[in-house]
């Protein structure tokens, strides 16, 4: 019913609809065209070893079983994720992201945190694979007190600019644990489970 109301508002008054979208947190046109936020999840088994790879893919079990890769607490480790940007991605879209991880060590955090960074670049036909990544943006799960096998999500990050991001192109996103961040004071490995991103799709067609 809410989506039908959205469509009605669009037909009745684009300006009114834009404000309604923004106040709901679902939609944000940014003042140019109309857009809807969309989300995509990349599970750790899709990750490709980066410059300093985390532990190999493994599983943890506590009634249920999930795949994880342990990221070290003493040195930055990273993996790459490949994302095919949709054809209707908004032309000026940035992304934001969060990381899901499990507490894999018996020594669980007590008012301690973990920090990650994400940077990316987009390539299309004729572009070199070795594209220069954009600025890495951090996100944290700070001052956590959890138990072994608890799932933890970081907060959603600020905007990440993927260099040269364009519709239909291939984006390479590098995720690393940032152990030098002051918020990363949990002195144990954590089992990264997934990367989630949020981005804007155009409602005006492709």
Secondary structure E strands in the chain: 35-43, 48-49, 58-62, 64-71, 78-84, 96-102, 112-123, 137-144, 151-153, 170-177, 190-202
Residue ranges of domains in the chain, CATH in brackets: 1-31 (no CATH), 38-202 (2.60.120.260)
pTM higher than 0.85, yes or no? no
Lowest mean pLDDT among 87-96, 131-140, 179-188: 87-96
CA distance 68 to 43: 9
Confidence of residue 205 (pLDDT cuts 50, 70, 90): low
pLDDT at position 33 is 60
Q: If you ran DSSP here, which 8-state letter would residue 188 be given?
A: S
């Amino acid at each position: 019913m809410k989506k039908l109301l959205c469509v009605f508002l669009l037909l009745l008054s684009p300006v009114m609809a834009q404000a309604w979208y923004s106040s709901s947190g679902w939609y944000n046109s940014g003042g140019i065209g109309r857009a809807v936020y969309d989300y995509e999840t990349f599970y750790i088994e899709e990750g490709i070893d980066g410059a300093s790879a985390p532990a190999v893919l493994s599983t943890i079990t506590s009634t249920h079983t999930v795949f994880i890769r342990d990221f070290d607490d003493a040195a930055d480790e990273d993996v790459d994720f490949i994302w095919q940007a949709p054809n209707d991605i908004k032309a000026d879209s940035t992304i934001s992201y969060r990381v899901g991880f499990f507490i894999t060590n018996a020594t669980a955090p007590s008012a301690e945190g973990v920090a990650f960074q994400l940077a990316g670049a987009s390539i299309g036909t004729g572009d070199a694979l070795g594209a220069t990544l954009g600025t890495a943006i951090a996100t944290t799960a700070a001052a956590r007190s959890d138990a072994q096998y608890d799932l933890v999500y970081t907060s959603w990050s600020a905007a990440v600019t993927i260099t040269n991001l364009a519709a239909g192109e291939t984006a390479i996103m590098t995720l690393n644990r940032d152990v030098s961040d002051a918020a990363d004071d949990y002195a144990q490995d954590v089992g990264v489970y997934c990367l989630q991103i949020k981005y804007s799709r155009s409602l005006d067609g492709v």
